[in-house]
Amino acid sequence: MPKDTFYNLKPEKKKAIEAAFLEEFSQKTFEDASISQVVKSLGIAKGSIYQYFENKLDLYLHLKSECEKTKLAYIMGLNRKDFPDFWKYFRKMYEVGVLFYLENPQASKFLTAIGKNTHSPTIKSYIHDWRNQAHQMFEEMIRGEVKAGNFRKDVAIKTMSFFLVSASTSIGEYMEVIYDMDFNKELEKGQKDFAKQKKILLQSVDDYILLLQKAFEK
């Protein structure tokens, strides 16, 4: 847990520090991310960081939980029961996910980057836990749909869950590719249309759903 000193910081400075480290941890492994370099770019002393946090991991986990909290606020309130079928629900998840991405690109990229620490001795256990949770969640969802007669039942639920988790991850990567392509295109034209971006990103999701739906239906 961060120390009181950190929470006593002026909001702008707190934000600046968080932003700088989000950036660093989005682009490097936990081990390769360098506190020394970030404080240099921030123009503060390295010692200060250790007035705010216990150590590097404490800092990392603080960012992680902050970003997760932010994202959760977007996801919260979504309930399978409120949708006529699983894919409408699935799509809505991505709709709020895209909103989160467009409104908090740094946080979103950081959360994605966490998953790239598969080999980090410090971080891998957190990833492992997260993956297990995701698989369990998806398994339960799929089991529900199978029981309700909405999904095929000739393929093991574990397999379908693995398939769906990977497809979900892939959607995220695909969206980033599409976003970069389109972002550069818009840059040339010297504009940046938020609503249009959202539409383009969600088109990727819709296309993926077209494929997934067929794969999972009876």
Binding footprint of DNA on the chain (CB under 7 A) = 4-5, 8-9, 13, 33-37, 44-48, 50-52, 55-57
Task: Return d(Cα 74, Cα 82) in angstroms, integer.
Answer: 16
Taking the least distance from each CB to its own copies, the nearer of 44 and 155 is 155
Tell which residue, 1, 25, 180, has the closest CA to residue 115: 25
CB of 58 to DNA, least distance (A): 8
Decide: 18 and 66 in contact? Cβ < 8 Å.
yes
* Among its own copies, DNA, none, partner that 214 touches (CB below 5 to 8 angstroms by kind): its own copies
Name which position in 38, 107, 141, 204 contacts its own copies (CB under 8 A). 204
Task: Return d(Cα 190, Cα 1) in angstroms, integer.
Answer: 43
CB atoms within 10 A of CB 149: 9
Q: Is 174 in the site for its own copies (CB under 8 A)?
A: yes
Helix, strand, coil tally for the chain in percent (to 5): 75, 0, 20
Contact positions vs its own copies (CB under 8 A) = 27-29, 31-32, 113, 116, 118-120, 154-156, 159-160, 162-163, 165-167, 169-170, 173-174, 177, 204, 207-208, 210-212, 214-217
